[in-house]
Amino acid sequence: MEKRMLLDREARRGYAFVAPGLLMMALLVIYPIFSVIQLSFSGSTTGADFVGFDNYLRVVQNPNFFRIMRNTAIWTVGNVAGAFMLGTGAALLLNQSFILAKSAWRTVIMLSWITPNVVQGIMWRCLYSSDFGMVNQLLQSLGLIKAPLPWLSSLQLTLPAVMLVQVWQTIPFVMTMMYAGAQSIPRDLYEVANLEGANAWARLRHITLPLLKDVCFICLLMLIIWSLNGFTLIWVMTQGGPAGSTEILALSIYEKFRSFNFNGAAATSVLQLLVSLLFAVLYIRRSGREED
Amino acid sequence: MTYNKAKRLLLAIISYALLVGLVLFTVLPLVWVVATSAKPSTEIFTIPPRMFTTQPTAGHYQHVLFHTDIPSYFVNSVMVGLLVTLLALVFGVSAGYGFARFRFKGNHTMSLFMLFSQMLPLTVIMIPVYLLLVRIGLLDSKLGLALSHLILALPVATWMSRSYFMSIPREIEEAALIDGCSYPGMLVRVVLPVAAPGIAATGIYAFIMSYNEFVLASVLTLTNRSRTLPIGLSEFSNNFYVDWGGVMAAAIIVSVPVILFFLFLQRYFVQGLSAGSVKG
């Protein structure tokens, strides 16, 4: 009896501490989701008139829809692959025992991640300028290109150019996570491997990489979610242009919103929500397992 | 043996070269921003473009600070950020403590819900929040923006403080209670002081998330009453596109607080990363 009372008191206290924040969050998250779904099936901003799947049909049948989905896919896959490979490479380089001043390297590299998104966008827009930009200047002086390239006004070049900036800003995240993971691997494992005559490649292949599996998973999912949700960088640099060549799902919601097509924007939002949820659920399931 | 030594030396040289390359890639664009902000306007558009000037000027900074709206955006950003910090700390630290210390049904599920809610695309939340704020008359207000920024800041505050409380041994709480301290007294006199550095870092993290946020701020603010720096800077750069020096000076003014916070609190930033904090 005594013990039961104690448990109940513990639970009561727990709920009391958690409740305000949780209610706040529920209000901020569950209400918008519910509301956006309602709007997506409605013909007005009050969510009153039910129109079935009309808004969805209009979104999907729009001739631009395929291009937007393709851009979203290219943007996401390219960003994730680029940032993951370069970031992991950087972490493994930094993890080598002979590298001095490790935290200094890390701090300096982190600067590109820490700079506000808007600043990153504005800065790269100028760097990519075809006449006075440093990118063209650098490539020309290295002899890699003959004439200045129109980085942000070309149907082919602009998406990759913006992707490079997204990769540029997320490399430090991957590097930091992977480096922290690699540092937490016990040294003894490597010593044993050395005694057994394993070379550097074998140590990487059989110790470092397998033990970094969980961190890799987290990094990849975060990169995917960031890319899918990514907005600011593209908006500041190109506003989705030229001719929609950098328009991804998140930008098309914003465009519809700006032209007061709230219901179309809501239907597009639900599509984006479904895509993001898929990866968020994967992430949560993995985090949940780690916690247990 | 000498072969091995040579191989190792080569590996070291290649590794350092690659690291230097990466550092140049991350830092050169930022150096360019600083260099451009100090360049006289006449020098910015020369062909071929040059990185550094021989006659640095503070003129662009003066212009931004005294002849533009950037300072008033800065005030808005700081006020919104402080409000977000306050609310995120009150709600988040309490929730974090609850999740870390007490066993109760649903603890795990609810803490994961907090983590999950942070991964929702802001573009999805934007529409309902906009319509809601219009309805309750909080559109274009600092309070409305701050409340919506809690979507970002509250989960992070909860998770960061949760992991911080978990690292504080329970025994010190029990000792205080045994010594005759009341429960609220124990919280105020023992738990909060011990957790203070972690709470401070959490607060700063929340502040920076709000300070950097773009999507919500761009639709929920309309005028100088509530417009924050990211939106102001972006507009400034569109209107004064030809004035690169001014834009870069403004960009630096916006970035400096964030970078300073980062340098002082790097350890916590790395912790925040692994707590699953999603950058807007």
Find chain A residues with C-beta within 8 A of B49's C-beta.
Answer: 132-134, 137
Torsion A94-A96-A99-A104 (CA) sign = positive
Contact present, B152 and B276 (Cβ < 8 Å) = no
Radius of gyration, alpha carbons of chain B: 24
Rounded to a whole number of angstroms, the distance from the CA of B259 to the nearest CA of chain A is 7
Residue from A40, A114, A124, A282 to probe the interface with B (highest B Cβ count within 10 Å): A114
Residues B143-182: tens digit of each pLDDT: 999 999 999 899 989 988 888 898 888 888 888 888 888 8
CA distance A136 to A146: 9
| Residues 173-192, chain B, touching A (beta carbon < 8 A) | none
Q: b/e string for B97-124 if b means 16 or more Cβ within 10 A? A: bbbbbbebeebeebbbbbbbbbbbbbbb
Contact assignment for A283 to B276 by CB distance below 8 Å: yes
Name residue A50's beta-bridge partners: A42
CA distance A116 to B180: 49
Coil/strand/helix, residue B187: helix
CA distance B165 to B180: 22
Name the residue among A169, A39, A59 with its Cα closest to residue A117.
A169
Span B96-117, average pLDDT: 87
pLDDT band at A1 (very low <50, low <70, confident <90, very high): very low
Task: Tell me whether A145 touches chain B (CB under 8 Å).
Answer: no
Nearest 10 degrees: Cα torsion A120, B256, B233, A248: 30
Looking at residue B271, what is its pLDDT? 63
Residue from A119, A127, A128 to probe the interface with B (highest B Cβ count within 10 Å): A119
Find chain A residues with C-beta within 8 A of B247's C-beta.
Answer: 122, 126
Torsion B90-B93-B99-B100 (CA) sign = negative
Chain-centre distance for alpha carbon B183: 34
Selection from A115-119, A215-219, B48-52 with the highest mean pLDDT:
A115-119
Which helix (H) or strand (E) is B130 found in, with range?
Answer: helix B122-135
Contact assignment for A119 to B120 by CB distance below 8 Å: no
What does pTM read for this prediction? 0.89
Contact assignment for A283 to B119 by CB distance below 8 Å: yes
Contact assignment for B104 to A15 by CB distance below 8 Å: yes
Residues B194-249: tens digit of each pLDDT: 888 889 888 998 999 999 999 999 999 999 899 999 999 998 888 766 788 899 99
Contact present, B275 and B204 (Cβ < 8 Å) = no
CA distance A215 to A174: 9
**Residues ≥6 apart with Cβ < 8 Å to B165:** B96, B97, B100, B101, B191, B195, B198
pLDDT band at B277 (very low <50, low <70, confident <90, very high): very low
Task: Tell me whether A216 touches chain B (CB under 8 Å).
Answer: no
Find chain A residues with C-beta within 8 A of B124's C-beta.
Answer: 32-33, 36, 253, 269-270, 272-273, 276
Rounded to a whole number of angstroms, the distance from the CA of B116 to the nearest CA of chain A is 7
Q: Tokens representing B158? A: 């909860």
CA distance A13 to A19: 10
Alpha helices in A95-186 (DSSP H): 102-114, 117-127, 134-141, 158-183
ipTM: 0.88
Chain-centre distance for alpha carbon B160: 14
Looking at residue A211, what is its pLDDT? 87
Residue B220's identity, in one-letter code, is: L
Residues A50-107: tens digit of each pLDDT: 888 989 999 999 889 999 999 999 999 999 999 999 999 999 999 888 888 888 998 8
Contact assignment for A273 to B121 by CB distance below 8 Å: yes
Residue A9 has pLDDT above 60, yes or no: yes
